Amino acid sequence: MATAANVNQGCTVPVEVEYELDKHASPFKIGLIALATDQTVERDFRNILPTDAAFFVSRIANINPCTVENLRTMAPQLTSATSLILPGADIDVVAYCCTSGTVAIGFDNIVKNIQAARPGIPCTTPITAALAGFEKLGLKRIAVLTPYIDEVNQPMRRFLEENGITVLSVNSFNLEDDVIMGRIPTEAIYAAAREIDRSDADGIFISCTAVRAVDVIDRLEQALGKPVLSSNQALAWQALRLAGYNNPISGFGRLLREH
List the CATH number of the domain containing 223. Answer: 3.40.50.1860
Regarding whether 117 and 189 lie in a shared domain, the answer is no
- 120 and 33 belong to one structural domain: yes
As a whole number, mean pLDDT of residues 204-213 equals 98
Examine the pLDDT at 206 and tell me if it is beyond 60. yes
Same domain, 98 and 147: no
Domain with 67 in it: 28-125+235-258
CA distance linking residue 235 with residue 253, whole number of Å:
13
List Cα–Cα distances, 22 to 25, 26, 92, 236, 243, in angstroms.
Answer: 8, 11, 18, 26, 20
- 15, part of any domain: no
- Spell out a b/e string for 64-79, using b for 16 or more CB atoms within 10 Å of the CB, else e: eebbbebbeebbebbe
243 and 225, same structural domain?
no
CB atoms within 10 A of CB 2: 10
Regarding whether 162 and 117 lie in a shared domain, the answer is: no
Domain contains 18 = no
> 124: which strand partners?
95
pLDDT of residue 8: 54
Q: What is the pLDDT of residues 134-171, one digit of tens each?
A: 999 999 999 999 999 999 999 999 999 999 999 999 99
State the average pLDDT over residues 131-136.
Answer: 98
> Taking a C-beta distance cutoff of 8 angstroms, is the pair 126, 134 a contact?
no
| 1: in domain | no
Q: What is the pLDDT of residue 2?
A: 47
Hey, is 17 helix, strand or coil? coil
Residue count (the chain): 259
pLDDT of residue 80: 98
Whether 176 is in a domain gets the answer yes
Tens-digit pLDDT profile for residues 234-256: 999 999 999 999 999 999 999 99
- Least confident range from 5-19, 108-122, 194-208: namely 5-19
Query: What's the whole-model pTM score?
Result: 0.92
